[in-house]
């Protein structure tokens, strides 16, 4: 389990770190300061998103509630964004230690699988993620970002994120595809005036359908290659139609690609 956790973290870091770095920089409201210097509490963001995930799974016993697993999985992808941001903020790139802490989490996972199933198992696994994230939030407040226990917590969160993907009927490949899709949409929005006063970005792409609805169809279908470039280009083609054929930059000419390539260099 430890090696799987490290492989999952390493793949996320190598593939998506420059993208997440750019997203965080562009969302940074503190001009002139590197987003890492803001010391955002990414762990708190994780357990808030995890609670939203439970609302989609359904957990209340005083009323009937239907499970919306695809929506729950979308919250898990948001959690993946925050988790990767927390990793980036540590500044650490090597993850050779930490067998004991991840082993403890592995035992908890096995006990949960033994004692619960279905929606209860998903919700219990989310509780485990919330527990680790809350613990990490406190560790971050008490110590430095490079503290040993913080690193263990991040590894443990990666283990639980993978387990939750499986419980949602998905795989690591699905997590990577959804991350690529959602991050592509966020980059595309920034490149086309979203969140800029009078930026002119059109969020409604059809009656009752927003850009994120169109993205979900792309992810669940075979309309494009499931990569950052593939999603971005498909979004650009559709957005050009919405704007009456107006030119919309594709990935190779986008501002986001320039920024990401700069961070890769």
Query: How far is the C-alpha of 148 from the C-alpha of 150, rounded, in Å?
Result: 5
Cβ neighbour number for residue 131 with a 10 Å cutoff? 16
Q: Which uninterrupted H or E stretch holds 209?
A: strand 209-210
- Say how far residue 5 (Cα) sits from the centre of its chain: 16
Q: How far is CA 153 from CA 65, 86, 147, 148, 149, in A?
A: 32, 11, 10, 9, 6
Place of tokens 């490079």: 146
Distance, CA of 125 to CA of 150 (rounded, Å): 20
Instruction: Please give the DSSP secondary-structure letter assigned to residue 252.
Output: G
What are the structural domains of the chain? 2-169 (1.10.4010.10), 178-264 (no CATH)
Question: pLDDT tens per residue, the chain (265 residues)?
Answer: 667 777 887 888 888 999 999 999 998 887 778 999 898 999 999 999 999 999 999 999 998 788 999 889 999 999 999 999 999 998 876 665 555 667 888 899 999 999 999 999 999 999 999 999 999 999 888 865 556 678 888 889 999 999 999 999 999 889 999 999 999 999 999 999 987 777 689 999 999 999 999 998 999 887 899 999 999 999 999 999 998 888 899 999 999 999 999 887 6
User: What backbone phi and psi angles, to 5 degrees, belong to 87?
Assistant: -65, -45
């Amino acid at each position: 389990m430890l090696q799987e956790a490290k492989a999952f973290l390493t793949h996320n870091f190598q593939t998506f770190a420059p993208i997440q770095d750019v997203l965080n920089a562009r969302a940074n409201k503190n001009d002139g300061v590197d987003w890492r210097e803001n010391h955002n509490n990414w762990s708190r963001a994780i357990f808030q998103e995890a609670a939203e995930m439970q609302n989609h799974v359904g957990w209340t016993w005083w009323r009937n509630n239907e499970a919306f697993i695809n929506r729950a999985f979308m919250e898990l992808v948001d959690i993946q964004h925050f988790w990767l941001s927390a990793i980036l903020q540590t500044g650490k790139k090597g993850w050779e230690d930490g067998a004991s802490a991840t082993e403890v989490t592995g035992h908890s996972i096995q006990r949960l699988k033994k004692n619960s199933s279905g929606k209860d198992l998903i919700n219990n696994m989310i509780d485990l993620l919330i527990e680790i994230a809350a613990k990490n939030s406190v560790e971050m407040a008490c110590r430095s970002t490079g503290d040993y226990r913080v690193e263990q917590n991040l590894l443990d969160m990666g283990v639980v994120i993978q387990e939750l993907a499986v419980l949602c009927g998905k795989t690591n490949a699905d997590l990577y595809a959804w991350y690529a899709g959602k991050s592509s949409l966020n980059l595309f929005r920034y490149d086309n005036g979203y969140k800029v006063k009078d930026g002119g970005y059109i969020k409604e792409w059809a009656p009752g359908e927003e850009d994120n609805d169109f993205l979900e169809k792309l992810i669940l279908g075979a309309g494009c290659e499931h990569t950052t470039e593939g999603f971005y280009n498909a979004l650009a083609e559709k957005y050009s139609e919405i704007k009456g054929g107006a030119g919309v930059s594709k990935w190779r000419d986008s501002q986001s690609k320039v920024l990401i390539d700069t961070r890769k260099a």
